[in-house]
């Protein structure tokens, strides 16, 4: 919950998204909510237009002291009540009476949370998109870069690095698409008043709700969602999914960068990943930091899901328990996206090493398939176990041409090119 | 993972969904995948049509011994490999050679998982929908049933029970809508072969993939998703969200059924919830069982999200770690939905008790609002603290008519009727 | 991760523990580690004593800029490396060469984490102990305060409030005992050098390790624990258990404070828990804030446990993923303990209301037991269902004296007094 | 929750522990509890001794139908109530009236859970101990086996494989020690009656509690722990810690077994880990299955911790929500231990490959340290970047003897031998 970078901040909550979830950002979002509420009520004729503008003018975060508000918040269990007091004081009479009319603290905090989320998703989706763009370039550039496909961390059959990158791309694009869907359809204004009936707004409740949502550019909910937390849960889960998609890619980079594999290397700003004590080392710091961020997600999502059990018209604890994990998820997933972008945009691929690492024995499956029949796998296995070169086995059971073809990994990439085209097409379609 | 009811089964994984995630169901789904694969290859001209039909005919779960397959599965780390062996033996030559061509174990297990999910979602969504229907009836029937709105478990302002039920309804409908969206767009066939390139299918890879997906009535993925686990994560998260939505309702029922509140009571089959030792007790067993199921979700979703980090072309552990939580989520969420349906369909509402429980002091906010001005709340608070009846305070500051109106809770429901209409409209629109 | 209170800080990370896990506290702990390392090496004759003292003198947090260190940390993935550079610059030649000799970044961060934990446990255990003291007073004071025992939130049989408080007491004491055990035996110094072999310390490795641990007043590990994370996991789990124990109590307070139950009320500082909009409300803010903190624990513990999978001699991500949840757990559990202390120390118990709420029907079980035989429960149940007063049923089947005894709840408290004595005895024994 | 192996059972819940947590085992444990209760009451003179023996004689699981009990359990929300009915019927009059006297369903289920845990911990600790023994042998045998120490998955400095195995050993031993401590001190009998006051046992409550605990060979709690769930939480957390310790080792094995590293290989039963389709592959199936089991733990522990919030004298849902994760944790951790034992007992270590993989450049840190001074690291880094062999750099700055010593990795193992001795000593001390 640090606003400044802090000791670990840049590693665990990189850059722009950290600011977007800062106390300053939350405070401004709460003030934006109060301004929108006043304008909506003025438009509905409930308060005077000049009072609404006086309120809106006072809704600038720099007028308020965060630590002071936080200290007062403890007495009531949320920061909205002291903010309303401070805002009324700032506005002064007579407009003060028009502040926060018909609303309750949860309306302010919930609507503000949605604003904070929408704003934090901007850099997050920007970084996730740029990481996907980088994966797309890698997919296209490395269609012919043959490498070992690895299952269970054992070399299995040859693939192209392009196909691997296409898999990364689709994973990132799917996660981004889900986040975008949540952003455009599930981030909604909350306004219900003391217990969700809009009772303090007289006959204008629905009208004010509609105008309020439009002011905030948030969706208008069917009913106030103060105790139906599906929106918060969907947002959190989508962040968790994006973290997972990023972690898959970052994990692959860490594995490919192992000293004994050496197929990729993080480039980027001079010196990053160097070890002063061990000059030979080059650590994939961006991928590691992406993993560190992404791995915050599972537990935080669990906390949000467990907190869906809101009692009656406002939860005694479950609501308050949402704030930290939601904020944490935005920060950590945003950080993972930023680090992954950095990682992929500067990834150095060693195609030669990929080819060298590829064990010829990986063609064994192809040879067995070419020989055909259910016993072929045993024939090949036994021959290899006996120390015979695979090429000999192939030539023994296959025509010369066929044997040569089967033994050339570049001819063994199957539908890889088509699959890469599909991934690139789907990616282009998103932009 | 029990197929039979078991000692706790009916409480924690009720009814139809338990069968839908049983070992038997998983086995049949894997066999359905093999049959679909054979038919897709026959249609693409890769194997003979009569071989495909011979394979399909052998794909009936009753031909195979689950415990035997499970024991063999341990040697390779998944149940597909022994099943393929057993299927080949069942099919016999020459069709045996056409079994499982070009596929890998993960193709079978992943596609089967999607089938199991689709099938388990049928009873689950049926029960969730019926629970929502019951909530809709409660919302409509109880528009005029005045009760205490409670925030932080304290009586706050009057609401109608109809509005509370409308909030339940929207929460359940949103969760169901998300699950339906996942079902129709995110459950996809998986076919990639040894490392995702469809290499063993020659030039027909994409065609077989398309036909295979159509045979299974699953979506066709852009690329094989063997290591991009967003689909599994989205499904799991949507289940977790549905569990959370169910838990909110069940939790409210438990609270309303408290001895001291007594506003609702679970009806249902004779004797349920009675206590042999304590004849006076009537426990809300269905709501409690719904909670027990729903509370499995947060940790299981966390496990699925943490398992998204699949290494390279097949994960060494993360894939295997998905099976139990996915199954657990389907079973537990399905159980929660079934119990909640039972609970709401038989819920007995005591409108009289609701009115009795409503503390007149709940009208204090209305009185303060009617008096108006920023000091009104203090005036009312001080008067109440001094032991004066609220009615006196109201009449002192307001005209007689206005005082009477303000003090009648039925006039204090704000936009409740409109909100109920919106919720019912959205619900009708779904059906 | 905020150092100042921040907008939500006081609610979610109250008071002293927030400072104890601040960036400032982490920085000082890392510096304390460097000072201890220098002194240990001086004592072992590896560096000059005056160099060690020069280093120690420079190890004051106020000399360093946290945000600056954090920004540099991002380039290497941890804050120790830039701190070592800054410390060397601060120390100047020739002592600079004696800084951080033979150690690696993980040694500094891990040992500092243990120091931070030990220091944060001071206020945390103080607050937890004070909460237990308050529970002990309630247990002793309310031995004779009869109330309804409630199972499944239904009134079941009479108990005393003293017994309920004794249950709280034991839960809190057990959690504190576990945390104390972890503090005294499992918080250990970490020193291993680049890969855990202490290779850069020549023959003095073990000696330096011992002296270093003693300097820090941390346990000396059998071997360096850089990749065996049981210590971090045990600490985290013990914090999670303490959060759960606190949540049980806070949850009971929230339920007892319900408007319809009204058996307890939070006292405390003037005005806390009042609602400006709803003058009649008195919210149990301290209990709610305790719940909000405690509910952070489950997901954070899950994250720490998932991060135990450290690869080889230093993890690529799992290590970095520990920092935020460990810090979060200390802060959130510490906050829960502080709020619970506040709640229990000012808890107002309404013994009269407890007796009033007690439904006479709760004696049904006693009556059935006194009647005896397996059919007695049915007899009583049927009589109550037929609307007969329990007293009549009792007198019909029992002697007058016996009936009177059975119907007096104060005689139905069983072993409550003895159990309270046991709880108080165990508590006294701890102090 | 399967009793038979099932389709995935052997992979995810291997062998003996699966039986120990089966429905059959739970049923027997509940019956053992009823038998112990009867005997305790007979000893206290509350029921006739021959009735107690008649009850005990009827307490054999084979007399009862699990699915039938489970179906009835749904009506009351727990399996104890129908079991008591069935037991009474089995016992017949007059002893039937002595069955389950003064106890409540939760007493039976909670005490049975402790019995199940104690029994499941036997194979689990046996396997964990055997895995540790195997690690100890590897540590001792490979003191001189030089390999690359790897940090962040990059080769860092030389270590011995013995030191790595010693780190595994200590991690496993610590986890086992914690589980043993929980087993011997925290598994306690639960007996409280309807609401924890032992009221239905008259003056004999405490005596019966003591005798009951002794009968079951479980600890006697200070007070009934029906709503203080620290015991369940501590057990669960200790299982999670053991899973994490196992996962660390299994993860290292998977990484060392990578095709490109090839330093270890799983031996074991013929054919395990072979791939029929890819004859060259040898998958570390045991390590992978250990990971699959271990990774269930984090989410399940989170669920148990979240369920600590038991309301009043019996929770409405939280209690029921404990059963599945506790059982899951015992099964999954037990499976991980069994698979890890299998993995380590048959681990084939390729010492030659370890030496070959070791990049000479790993001695760079030693060379820099030998040169000394804060600039030495830069000197070495620049030389290597310029393509100069490390040996040349060493000889340029160091005396011949010193250069030779520094460049021999076997002399660079620091305190490894002493650390291995410490680990072996601690291990021997445990046995």
From the number of C-beta atoms within 10 Å of its C-beta (0-12, 13-18, 19+), residue D137 rates as middle
Q: From D279, which residue of chain A is nearest by alpha-carbon distance?
A: A381
Residue B157, phi-psi category: left (phi > 0), alpha (psi -120 to 50), beta (remainder): beta
Output C403 or C173, whichever has higher pLDDT: C173
Interface contact C365, partner B, CB < 8 A: yes
pLDDT band at C215 (very low <50, low <70, confident <90, very high): very high
On whether the CB atoms of residues D153 and D367 are closer than 8 A, the answer is no
- Cα separations (Å) of B200 from A369, B194, B203? 8, 8, 9
CA neighbor of C330 nearest in space, from C293, C364, C377: C293
B11: chain D residues, CB-CB within 8 Å: 70, 73-74, 77-79, 320
Q: From D424, which residue of chain C is nearest by alpha-carbon distance?
A: C222
Predicted pLDDT at B3: 40
CB contact under 8 A, D152 and A362: no
Interface contact B431, partner A, CB < 8 A: no
Tallying the residues shown for chain C, one arrives at 431
From the number of C-beta atoms within 10 Å of its C-beta (0-12, 13-18, 19+), residue C431 rates as exposed
Residue that has been written with the tokens 């033996």 in this structure: B89
Provide the percentage of residues in chain C whose pLDDT is more than 90: 79
CA neighbor of C12 nearest in space, from C295, C380, C310, C219: C295
Q: Where are the alpha helices (DSSP H) in B193-317?
A: 205-216, 230-256, 285-294, 297-306
On whether the CB atoms of residues C247 and D228 are closer than 8 A, the answer is no
Averaged over A354-376, what is the pLDDT? 84
On whether the CB atoms of residues A179 and B237 are closer than 8 A, the answer is no
Helix (H) or strand (E) holding D347: strand D347-349
On whether the CB atoms of residues D261 and D340 are closer than 8 A, the answer is no
- Cα separations (Å) of D271 from A366, B75, D340? 21, 8, 18
- Considering C275, C388, C422, C430, which one is annotated as catalytic? C275
Give per-residue pLDDT as tens, A125-161.
999 999 999 999 999 999 999 999 999 999 999 999 9
CA neighbor of D134 nearest in space, from D343, D429, D431: D343
Give per-residue pLDDT as tens, A201-222.
989 999 999 999 999 999 999 9
Give, rounded to a whole angstrom, the gap between the first and last alpha carbons of chain D.
33
For A70, the token pair is: 């936080």
CA C68 to chain centroid: 33
Give per-residue pLDDT as tens, A15-25.
789 999 999 99
ipTM for the assembly? 0.94
Three-class secondary structure of residue B179 per DSSP: helix
CB contact under 8 A, D277 and A368: yes
C6: chain A residues, CB-CB within 8 Å: 1, 3, 23, 66-67, 70
CB contact under 8 A, C70 and A5: yes
pLDDT band at B279 (very low <50, low <70, confident <90, very high): low
3-state secondary structure chain A: CCCCCCCCHHHHCCHHHHHHCCHHHHHHHHHHHHHHHHHHHHHCCCCCHHHHHHHHHHCCHHHCCHHHHHHHHHHHCCCHHHHHHHHHHHHCCCHHHHCCCCCCHHHHHHHHHHHHHHHHHHHHHHHHHHHHHHHHHHHHHCCCCEEEEEECCEEEEEEEHHHHHHHHHHHHHHHHHHHHHHHHHCCECCCCCCCCCCHHHHHHHHHHHHHHHHHHCCECCCCCCCCCCHHHHHHHHHHHHHHHHHHHHHHHHHHHCCCCCCCEEECCCCCCCECCCCCCCECCHHHHHHHHHHCCHHHHHHHHHHCCCCCCCECCCCCHHHHHHHHHHHHHHHHHHHHHHHHHHCEEECHHHHHHHCCHHHHHHHHHHHHCCCCHHHHHHHHHHCCCCHHHHHHHHCCHHHHHHHHCHHHHCCCHHHHHHHHHHHHHHHC
Output D241 or B431, whichever has higher pLDDT: D241
A300: chain C residues, CB-CB within 8 Å: 299, 303
- In this complex, which chains have at least 3 CB pairs below 8 Å with chain C? A, B, D
CB count within 10 Å of CB A323 equals: 22
CB-facing half-sphere around the CA of B419: CA atoms within 13 A: 37
Q: From C266, which residue of chain A is nearest by alpha-carbon distance?
A: A75
Which of D148, D273, D278 is the best substitution to test chain A (most A C-beta atoms within 10 A)?
A: D278
For B134, the token pair is: 């019951």
Q: Where are the alpha helices (DSSP H) in C142-204?
A: 161-185
User: Is C314 among the residues known to form the active site?
Assistant: yes
Provide the percentage of residues in chain D whose pLDDT is more than 70: 96
Interface contact A122, partner D, CB < 8 A: no
- Cα separations (Å) of B386 from B377, B381, D164, D222? 14, 9, 74, 46
Interface contact A277, partner D, CB < 8 A: yes
Predicted pLDDT at B10: 80
Interface contact B365, partner C, CB < 8 A: yes
Give per-residue pLDDT as tens, D201-210.
989 999 999 9
On whether the CB atoms of residues B140 and B40 are closer than 8 A, the answer is no
Interface contact B260, partner D, CB < 8 A: no
Give per-residue pLDDT as tens, C89-117.
999 999 999 999 999 999 999 999 999 99
Averaged over D29-51, what is the pLDDT? 98
Alpha carbon distance B29, B112 (integer Å): 5
D60 pLDDT higher than 90 = yes
Give, rounded to a whole angstrom, the gap between the first and last alpha carbons of chain C.
33
Interface contact C194, partner A, CB < 8 A: yes
Strands B347-349 and B264-266: antiparallel
Give per-residue pLDDT as tens, C177-202.
999 999 999 999 999 999 999 998 98
B350 pLDDT higher than 70 = yes
Buried-state track B5-16, b at ≥16 Cβ within 10 A, e below 16: bbbbbbbbbbbb
Three-class secondary structure of residue B265 per DSSP: strand
Distance from CA of A279 to the nearest CA of D (A): 5
CA neighbor of A106 nearest in space, from A329, A313, A307: A313
Predicted pLDDT at A158: 94
Residue D245, phi-psi category: left (phi > 0), alpha (psi -120 to 50), beta (remainder): alpha
Interface contact C318, partner D, CB < 8 A: no
Q: Where are the alpha helices (DSSP H) in D269-399?
A: 285-294, 297-306, 320-345, 351-357, 364-371, 376-385, 390-397
pLDDT band at C366 (very low <50, low <70, confident <90, very high): confident
C1 pLDDT higher than 50 = no
- In this complex, which chains have at least 3 CB pairs below 8 Å with chain B? A, C, D
Alpha carbon distance D39, D60 (integer Å): 15
Give me the residue from A279, A306, A361 closest to D384, CB to CB.
Answer: A279
Alpha carbon distance D169, A102 (integer Å): 64
Which of D155, D251, D281, D355 is the best substitution to test chain A (most A C-beta atoms within 10 A)?
A: D281
Averaged over A378-404, what is the pLDDT? 87
Q: From C6, which residue of chain A is nearest by alpha-carbon distance?
A: A67
On whether the CB atoms of residues B116 and B20 are closer than 8 A, the answer is yes
Of B184-188, C227-231, C239-243, D11-15, the one with minimum mean pLDDT is D11-15
On whether the CB atoms of residues D111 and D189 are closer than 8 A, the answer is yes
Alpha carbon distance B239, B300 (integer Å): 10
CA neighbor of D126 nearest in space, from D45, D183, D191: D183
- In this complex, which chains have at least 3 CB pairs below 8 Å with chain D? A, B, C
On whether the CB atoms of residues B350 and B262 are closer than 8 A, the answer is yes
On whether the CB atoms of residues C70 and C31 are closer than 8 A, the answer is no
On whether the CB atoms of residues A10 and C73 are closer than 8 A, the answer is yes
Averaged over D18-39, what is the pLDDT? 96
The angle subtended at Cα A344 by Cα A342 and Cα A345, nearest 5°, is 65
Give me the residue from D308, D309, D422 closest to C222, CB to CB.
Answer: D422
Alpha carbon distance D194, B283 (integer Å): 14
Interface of C with A in 3-32 (CB under 8 A): 3-14, 23, 26-27
Which of B322, B324, B327, B346 is the best substitution to test chain D (most D C-beta atoms within 10 A)?
A: B324
Predicted pLDDT at C253: 98
CB contact under 8 A, C10 and A71: yes
Interface contact D251, partner C, CB < 8 A: yes
CB contact under 8 A, B324 and D328: yes
On whether the CB atoms of residues D160 and D415 are closer than 8 A, the answer is no
Alpha carbon distance A152, B312 (integer Å): 8
CA neighbor of B32 nearest in space, from B219, B233, B213: B213
The angle subtended at Cα B51 by Cα B47 and Cα B55, nearest 5°, is 115
B46 pLDDT higher than 60 = yes
Buried-state track A20-33, b at ≥16 Cβ within 10 A, e below 16: bbbbbbbbbbbbbb
Give me the residue from D156, D276, D283 closest to A278, CB to CB.
Answer: D156
Q: Which residues pair with C157 in a beta bridge?
A: C149
A1 pLDDT higher than 50 = no
Distance from CA of C340 to the nearest CA of D (A): 14
Strands B264-266 and B154-160: unpaired
CB contact under 8 A, B170 and A222: yes
Strands C146-151 and C154-160: antiparallel
On whether the CB atoms of residues B319 and A152 are closer than 8 A, the answer is no
Q: Average pLDDT, whole number, for chain A?
A: 93
Predicted pLDDT at D4: 54
Interface contact C163, partner D, CB < 8 A: yes
Averaged over C147-160, what is the pLDDT? 95
C271 pLDDT higher than 60 = no
């Amino acid at each position: 919950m640090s606003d400044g970078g802090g000791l670990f901040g840049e590693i665990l909550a990189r850059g722009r998204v950290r600011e977007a979830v800062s106390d300053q950002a939350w405070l401004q979002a709460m003030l934006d909510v109060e301004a929108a509420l006043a304008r909506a009520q003025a438009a509905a004729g409930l308060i005077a237009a000049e009072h609404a503008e006086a309120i809106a003018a006072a809704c600038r975060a720099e007028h308020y002291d965060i630590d002071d508000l936080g200290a007062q918040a403890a007495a009531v269990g949320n920061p909205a009540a002291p903010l309303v007091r401070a805002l009324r004081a700032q506005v002064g009479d007579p407009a003060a009476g028009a502040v926060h009319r018909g609303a309750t603290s949860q309306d302010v905090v919930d609507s503000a949370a949605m604003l904070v989320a929408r704003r934090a998703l901007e850099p997050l989706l920007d970084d996730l998109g740029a990481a996907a763009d980088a994966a797309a370039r890698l997919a296209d550039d490395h269609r012919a870069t043959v490498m070992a496909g690895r299952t269970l961390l054992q070399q299995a059959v040859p693939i192209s690095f392009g196909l691997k990158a296409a898999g990364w791309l689709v994973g990132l694009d799917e996660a981004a698409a889900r986040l975008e869907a949540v952003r455009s359809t599930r981030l909604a204004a909350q306004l219900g008043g003391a217990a969700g009936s809009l009772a303090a707004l007289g006959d204008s409740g629905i009208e004010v709700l509609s105008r309020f949502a439009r002011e905030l550019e948030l969706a208008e909910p069917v009913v106030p969602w103060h105790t139906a937390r599906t929106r918060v849960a969907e947002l959190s889960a989508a962040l968790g999914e994006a973290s997972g998609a990023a972690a898959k890619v970052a994990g692959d980079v860490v594995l490919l960068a192992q000293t004994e594999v050496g197929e990729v290397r993080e480039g980027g700003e001079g010196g990053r990943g160097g070890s002063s004590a061990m000059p030979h080392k080059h650590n994939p710091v961006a991928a590691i930091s992406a993993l560190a961020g992404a791995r915050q997600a599972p537990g935080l999502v669990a906390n949000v899901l467990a907190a869906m059990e809101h009692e009656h018209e406002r939860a005694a604890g479950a609501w308050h328990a949402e704030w930290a994990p939601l904020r944490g998820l935005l920060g950590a997933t945003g950080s993972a996206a930023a680090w992954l972008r950095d990682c992929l945009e500067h990834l150095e691929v060693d195609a030669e090493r990929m080819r060298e690492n590829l064990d010829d024995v990986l063609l064994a499956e192809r040879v067995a398939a070419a020989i055909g029949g259910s016993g072929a796998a045993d024939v090949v296995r036994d021959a290899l176990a006996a120390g015979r070169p695979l090429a000999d086995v192939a030539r023994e059971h296959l025509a010369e041409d066929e044997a040569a073809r089967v033994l050339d990994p570049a001819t063994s990439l199957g539908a890889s090119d088509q699959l890469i085209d599909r991934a690139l097409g789907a990616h282009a379609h998103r932009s």
